[in-house]
Amino acid sequence: MNLPIANSTVSIVKCESIHDSHRVKKSLEKALDLIGGIETFICRGDTVIVKPNLIKPAHYKTGTITNPFLVEAACRIVKEKGAKKVIVADGAAVGYDTEKAFDEAGLREITKKIDVELFDFKKAERIGVPVPYGRVLHRIKLPRVFLEADIVINIPVMKTHDVFPATLGIKNIKGVIREEDKKRFHKWGLSRAIVDLNKVAFPDLTIVDGTVGMEGLGPTHGEPVNLGVIVVSRDVVAADTVASTIMGIDPSEIEYIKLAEKEGLGCADLSRIEVVGERLENLIRPFKRVKLDFKKYEDKGIFIHERGACSGCRHNMESIITSLEKKGELEYLKGFHIVFGQLSKMPERVRGKLVFIGLCTREYKNKGYYIPGCPPHPEDIMNELKKIK
């Protein structure tokens, strides 16, 4: 895999016929030509990994997963340029079956048609790899097939997220790790762990799929956004910066983008990114984000005490409450007094079972129930609350 490049060029191309494999391929070819062409880094005989976002079994029209026609287009293009072996590979989120995700996405049929392999990272033989200058990771086990590939093409979906304002290319690389490490990342500090991972699993090309994105309760329960755009760069940080801007989200709000730039993985300064193709300002379409006033839930017996919380813990609680409210299950939170953020002192009045969430509240863990993590995974929070209940 190549090191991040100094010259950060990002192409934006419209892809209006998002359900037509031929038209999607034409759009992707145009986007690639604008950054120098696929032939500038694909060599005859290469083994190429194409890594979509297959978080769970779902249809691409929901915005949950990568558009399979975009995956097909990337595979066809690299094969035409002489790639010897092309492998579409991913590992679904914890608790989901990747093989079923392949089927639901239609990728099993597509890859068979174009003579491309499918690979489930959850079943991979793994090799321990040291992480140079790792902040929270010093060694991580990565799939042999991933490490031995000549080129990695990263195809995330443009989505909001329950922990971050958005999930994009840097975050999408998390799909290569083991399920147990996905859980550990939240304990170790999710943003820093993701950035450390990218130090040893940096993609050669990132294609942000904005054909059908997701807003609201992303990454799996939101509403589809039919943007019809593709964002392409060899610099994943620059690609994420441009994509988040299109979503109406300031890249500086997304902690992993800021950290990735600080660690030298790419450029997050729009003034230093060369944007080619469509004009960025003409494509900005603010994605809906979950924003809650926690006080309005007090009359339902749910008390939230938050001071100086990062976006991770706040997004978690907003996502949990919104999801439960949507399903008519807010009763799960009744009777809890949930505390998170950078506390200077204990809440003056406790109104329910006291639960401290996240690394910032660790010093108070003996005062009530404590759920560790930075931030804890939303599922872990709900599982622990159900035990306490």
- How far apart are the C-alpha atoms of 305 and 314, rounded to whole Å? 11
Tell whether 212 and 307 lie within a shared domain. Answer: no
Is 71 a member of any domain?
yes
Going by C-alpha positions, the residue among 220, 188, 187, 161 that lies closest to residue 381 is 187
Give me the domain span that covers residue 318. 294-388
Count of structural domains, the chain: 2
Tell whether 103 and 206 lie within a shared domain. Answer: yes
The pLDDT-based confidence of 239 (bands split at 50, 70, 90) is: very high
Which token pair is 267? Answer: 């450029």
Amino acid, single-letter form, for residue 309: A
pLDDT at 380 over 50: yes
Question: b/e map of 52-83 (b: 16 or more CB within 10 Å)?
Answer: bbbbbbbebeebbbbbbbbbbbbbbbbbebeb
The pLDDT-based confidence of 4 (bands split at 50, 70, 90) is: very low
Tell whether 299 and 235 lie within a shared domain. Answer: no
Q: Where residue 40 sits, what CATH number does that domain have?
A: 3.40.50.11440
The pLDDT-based confidence of 7 (bands split at 50, 70, 90) is: low
* Mean pLDDT within 178-192: 92
* Mean pLDDT within 67-95: 97
Tell whether 367 and 303 lie within a shared domain. Answer: yes
pLDDT at 2 over 60: no
Q: Where residue 298 sits, what CATH number does that domain have?
A: 3.40.50.12280
SS3 361: helix
pLDDT in tens, 335-375: 999 999 988 788 888 999 999 999 999 999 999 999 999 99
Going by C-alpha positions, the residue among 219, 257, 224 that lies closest to residue 240 is 257
- How far apart are the C-alpha atoms of 149 and 138, rounded to whole Å? 22
- DSSP assignment of 245-275 equals HHTT--GGGSHHHHHHHHTTS----GGGSEE
Look at residue 187 in the predicted model and tell me its pLDDT. 85
167 phi and psi angles, rounded to 5 deg: -115, 125
pLDDT above 70 as % of the chain: 98
pTM for this predicted structure:
0.90
For residue 307, how many other CB atoms are within 10 A of its CB? Answer: 14
pLDDT at 311 over 80: no
